[in-house]
Amino acid sequence: MTIIQARGLVRSYGPTPALRGITLDVEEGEILAVTGPSGCGKSTLLHCLAGILRPDAGEVHYAGRRIDTDSEKVRSRLRRTDFGVLFQFGQLVMELTAAENVALPLLLAGTGRREARAAALAWLDRVGVADVADQQPGEMSGGQQQRCALARALVTEPRVLFADEPTGALDTLTGEQVLGQLVRVAHEHHTTVVLVTHEPRVAGYADREVTLRDGVLDQTGPAIAAQHGRHGR
């Protein structure tokens, strides 16, 4: 089943085009890697699919409903319920503990404080960092911070996780650990993942790869996870 459809997406920043008519389907439950060199439009595409940006032209559909014409309020609500977003640098709130950071999306959605904390602790344990629950980001390693950010992105149990260069700020070993956690949890919960990366090693964790070059969809790769074997389900 197709969960996200993009049709003819165009987006420019002033006179500079970032997307030049992108058409793409994302299947429910798959991990899709969007690859390409820096500046090719990968993050812009992800932000359009996630409702963070509106395309200048074209359409974005989620679960059969067009969302790019929705108001910012409606799209923001969607990102609190059905979508999770994981950024390169985590973007944790430095003044809050790990548990408070992870609980934040639930609290914003109206969940009670005790229930939100319990869910946050469960997700921190699920991604392997329960021991830092009461630490602030400044007291954690980069890998611990990114796992906390992953837990925060997943605590609402979204149908789709958008991950923008999620290991770009991490060393190779730590990045492998975070990706391993991401893939394992996504498969367990049948979460669709759209993963933006410029690293072939990271793309190797995906089920399928598409490549952008200068804002144009260049090719659709095979199910590369099966080729790598070690990352398959």
CATH of the domain at 105: 3.40.50.300
Assign 83 a pLDDT band (cuts: 50, 70, 90): very high
Domain that holds residue 160: 30-40+71-228
The verdict on residue 64 lying in a domain is no
The verdict on residue 25 lying in a domain is no
The verdict on residue 57 lying in a domain is no
What pLDDT, in 10s, does the model give residues 208-224?
999 999 899 975 454 44
Compute the distance between CA of residue 233 and CA of residue 217 in angstroms, rounded to an integer. Answer: 27
Q: What is the mean pLDDT of residues 5-16?
A: 95
When mean pLDDT is compared across 3-12, 47-56, 158-167, the lowest value belongs to: 158-167
What pTM value is reported for the model?
0.87
> What pLDDT shows up at residue 230?
41
CA atoms within 13 A on the CB side of 95: 0
Strand order in the sheet with 31-35: 83-86, 160-164, 192-196, 31-35, 208-213, 216-220
Higher pLDDT, 232 or 35: 35
The verdict on residue 3 lying in a domain is no
Higher pLDDT, 88 or 214: 214
Q: Show the tokens assigned to 38.
A: 């820096």
> What pLDDT shows up at residue 22?
96
Do 181 and 174 contact (CB within 8 A), yes or no?
no
For CA atoms 131, 189, 29, 83, the dihedral sign is negative
Indicate the number of domains in the chain: 1
The verdict on residue 49 lying in a domain is no
